[in-house]
């Protein structure tokens, strides 16, 4: 029935990206292959090379999507709730609900480092992570502390390295754990 599929797919680039994210979520970025991605998308195995140049190009495109999505989530959390803590919760939520993006994003050796879109996407995400206080120069060590904590928590959780007694709700755990962070007063203000 699907054999009336036209020669031109129409949206193949996006379809390939979705398939790749699926594969990575299941088996990790290391296990990604161009062949598997095209197989899932139901196209010839050379199609991915046409769209992304090579494997690194595909992974770079995924990283760009990931940074943009994370940026959007963090910015929304900051805007809506103006709370330092809730930005951290949003970070952990993103990491756990988009493991494929998270996996690829923080392994720069998989990326085309020179890629302009990637650099810009990373830059604006970092701005939200550091510049929590709307332009006011934030204490960098405090920002790194907060980022490290949520990043480490998300990573340890995702890999199943945390004790079971913490329960099953990562957002609740994030709030409990992040309570041990001493943040600059200005950041918790409403």
Residue 104 lies near DNA (rule: CB under 7 A): no
33-92: contacts with DNA (CB under 7 A): 33-36, 38, 43-47, 49-51, 54-56
Number of C-beta neighbours around residue 189 at 10 A: 10
Nearest distance from residue 171's CB to a second copy, in Å? 14
Is residue 53 a contact partner of residue 9, using CB atoms and an 8 Å limit?
no
Smallest separation (angstroms) from DNA to the CB of 45: 6
Q: Which residues contact 33 (CB under 8 A, 6 or more apart)?
A: 23, 55
Q: Does 185 bind DNA (CB under 7 A)?
A: no
- The number of residues making up the chain comes to 190
Q: Of 10, 135, 137, 160, which one interacts with a second copy (CB under 8 A)?
A: 160
Q: Of these, 130, 131, 133, 171, which contacts a second copy (CB under 8 A)?
A: 130
Q: How many CB atoms lie within 10 A of CB 99?
A: 19
- Comparing CB distances to a second copy, the nearer of 75 and 142 is 142
Torsion of CA 183, 188, 189, 190, to 10 degrees: 170
* Candidates 11-19, 48-56, 63-71, 135-143; binding stretch for a second copy (CB under 8 A): 135-143
**Closest by CA position to 177, among listed 166, 188, 168:** 166
Instruction: Using CB under 7 A, list all residues that contact DNA.
Output: 6-10, 12-13, 32-36, 38, 43-47, 49-51, 54-56
């Amino acid at each position: 029935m699907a054999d009336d599929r036209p020669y031109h797919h129409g949206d193949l680039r996006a379809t390939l990206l979705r398939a790749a994210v699926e594969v990575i979520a299941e088996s990790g970025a290391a296990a990604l292959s161009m062949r598997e991605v095209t197989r899932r998308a139901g196209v010839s195995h050379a199609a991915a090379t046409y769209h992304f140049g090579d494997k690194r190009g595909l992974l770079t495109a995924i990283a760009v999507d990931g940074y943009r999505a994370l940026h959007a989530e963090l910015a929304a959390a900051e805007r809506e709730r103006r709370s330092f803590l809730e930005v951290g919760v949003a970070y952990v939520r993103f990491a756990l609900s988009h493991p494929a993006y998270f996996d690829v994003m923080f392994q720069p050796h998989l990326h085309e480092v020179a890629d302009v879109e990637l650099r810009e996407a990373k830059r604006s995400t970092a701005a939200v992570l550091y510049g929590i206080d709307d332009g006011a120069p934030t204490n960098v060590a405090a920002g790194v502390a907060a980022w490290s904590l949520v990043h480490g928590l998300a990573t340890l959780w995702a890999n199943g390295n945390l004790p079971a007694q913490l329960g099953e709700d990562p957002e609740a755990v994030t709030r409990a754990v992040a309570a041990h962070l001493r943040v600059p007063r200005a950041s918790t203000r409403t």
